[in-house]
Structure 1
């Protein structure tokens, strides 16, 4: 089971060997926590912009620009890495479309923790179902995550029909996260991490701008400056969050970094309550904390 929780550091983390019992320095803890906050922030930005399609298109534009420059500087990945690069980029495209759908359909403080919490839950359950020996503490972690996800689904004490599409999209997003993290884990050793990341972002980046162009046409260029700034800044923050986690991963304590990284689930619930004015704030924050605690147990 240990190798599977180690691939749950998000997104696209190819340096994923589990080093049991490795301690974290104060600097690595700070980097990881900051990355967790940044990840929640860029997702909150993507949800909070008035036109979410344009917001995701601008985030994708930032990916193309930064990934393109990095790809020019770093060069092509080796031939052996291309199946992983293409597979990861394709799964990231599906992930982005599902995440956009989730944010169109539901409130941030609910769907963000569900999407983030579903990924480690899916991988862990698959491991149990495949007959591998699973330590008791990790079984407890699966149960704790399940309780947290159910609590988020039963927001306000009931599962309403209106919430089903958003929750379904969020769960599908989490399944996609599990898929691309497994692909990224398999890419270890095929190419340097910066090269892998540059091409993965470059290849996935154009999709949302193209979708926005087809759907908005001329209206795409007539956006308020504030939305342009927010969308592009969201893309840069997303890339920064990814880079900081990569730096933290060089400590060797991959599982510990992965677990600490998921504190962003709680941050997301807080952002939805405080800045996006969503209901059921305390309940969602508590449920998100339960999910994060379960992920920590699964990663032990």
Structure 2
């Protein structure tokens, strides 16, 4: 992985950790998720207007990824309702790198070097350690189950997008249609809240919109880098967001203990360096 690709993915990881911190900071998670997906759809419409349409070969991947994202939002909402972000995030995100690397090797014959596999193992191990430090071992079984299912979905849409964007012949066109197809999510949430007599608070909408912009930028960067770097390596470095999330938790949310989080962060950082050098 080149230095440029590495820095781009690390920036995307920071953005992703940031918008997930917004979700944690707000009680109305359904409202935030609705605003995030609405921002996706609006920005997607803008990308479609200024970009060439993706090639037909990429449309099965767009349809697959969009469908998986619907399930992702449902599981994300349910997981956060039964467990907190510090439990759900490291478990679900930590599963993805290994699953993506294995899937890429099987589906498109894309394998890492021995040093790359060692780096991937460090990233996964560090993320797993961070999950345990955050209390995942004592988490309710339902929270763990939702988190594991989230990890499977994340890996599945990551592989679909990695293959699809390479066949799209228009990275921004692919991103635009993928983001636009999220529009049923905010509509469904808004309709359900209307029937229940609930309203969206202005603060929630503003934070959700900001989170949506960050989420679009983060995922867009990752999609682009997948066209120039191995899928397994991109996915592994991308999950360094868990380290950023740990830092945010320590500094802003006063999460403890500190020692275990710093150790896990060091293991993940070692894995990122190995992947970058591989």
- TM superposition score category, shorter chain reference: 0.7 to 0.9
1:36 aligns with 2:36: no
Contact 2:96–2:154, Cα closer than 8 Å, also in 1: yes
Q: 1:157 to 1:201 in 2, by over 3 A?
A: closer
| 1:45 aligned residue | 22
| 1:214 aligned residue | 192
How well do the aligned residues superpose, as a CA RMSD in angstroms?
3.5
Q: SS at 1:223's partner residue?
A: coil
Give the drift of 1:60: 1.0
In the alignment, the residues of structure 2 paired with residue 156 and residue 230 of structure 1 have an alpha-carbon distance, to the nearest angstrom, of 25
Q: 1:35 to 1:79 in 2, by over 3 A?
A: closer
Q: 1:24 to 1:127 in 2, by over 3 A?
A: closer
Relative to its length, the structure with more helix (as a share) is 2
Give the drift of 1:90: 0.8
Tell which deviates more after alignment, 69-78 or 101-110: 69-78
| 1:110 aligned residue | 87
Q: 1:156 to 1:65 in 2, by over 3 A?
A: closer
TM-score normalised by length of structure 1: 0.75
Contact 1:270–1:281, Cα closer than 8 Å, also in 2: no
| 2:122 aligned residue | 144
Give the drift of 1:42: 0.9
Q: SS at 1:154's partner residue?
A: helix
Give the drift of 1:203: 0.5
What are the superposed Cα offsets for residues 165-224 of structure 1, whole Å, 9 maximum, x if unpaired? 22322222121111112112222123411111101011123214413421453644x333
- Runs of 5+ unmatched residues, structure 2: none
| 2:34 aligned residue | 57
Contact 1:117–1:295, Cα closer than 8 Å, also in 2: no
In the alignment, the residues of structure 2 paired with residue 186 and residue 127 of structure 1 have an alpha-carbon distance, to the nearest angstrom, of 9
Contact 1:47–1:108, Cα closer than 8 Å, also in 2: yes
- Runs of 5+ unmatched residues, structure 1: 1-21
From 153, 158, 167, the equivalent of 1:176 is: 153
